[in-house]
Amino acid sequence: MKRLAALAVVILLIALAVYYVVANLPGAVDSSLGDTDGTGGPGGSNPGGGGGTVVASGVERPAEATLSHVAYVHDGDTLYLQPDGTTSRAEEITVRLIGIDTPELRPAVECYALEARDRLRELLPQGAAVWIAEDEGALDQYGRSLLYLWTERGDFVNLELVAEGYAWAVDIAPNDAYWPELEAAERSASDARLGLWGSC
């Protein structure tokens, strides 16, 4: 009997180990998140455009979002994009993320500026596809395009940076389509002392 019980425990441990390895393979689906967008995985992307994509944050990529590619991330809230199908540096657009503000790199490096820049580079590495959408005001006073961004897999970049404590939420009318979500994310990050809230 003791041998049978020991054998059962060994089999159970092996089964658990196999399950753990399979569940952590690249591309494995976390069934706890559910198939929120009909693509077979949690918050999957919709590369063909049309319709929105539901992500874990609950913020859907708008149907009018267009595809672009990352040329270079300057800091936590400013980057350069190449519209889809272009390769010329002359066609790059300078983007300022709507609804957020991150610590500055210049003239002096402010607290958490490097971390914010590095996090945006993780979310949007050079060459990565990114979906972009405007709000009411297309440009800021410096001629930069004011945009909301979604990663190819559907993460709402502006919101992610606030929720993780890399950015403050800022409400600058008329660009306030996602202000309630950004404000709530900032409150949660501040309460939890995430990122700059616990470091600066």
pTM over 0.85, yes/no = no
* Residues in Cβ contact with 71 at an 8 Å cutoff, skipping those fewer than 6 apart: 79, 80, 81, 82, 89, 92, 126
Name the most confidently modeled range: 22-26, 87-91, 153-157: 153-157
Scanning the chain, the segments in alpha helix (DSSP H) are 2-23, 113-123, 157-163, 179-191, 196-199
d(CA 53, CA 41): 12
Span 32-75, pLDDT tens digits: 223 323 322 323 333 333 334 334 456 889 999 999 999 999 99
Each residue's pLDDT tens digit, 128-182: 999 999 999 999 999 999 999 999 999 999 999 999 999 999 999 999 999 999 9
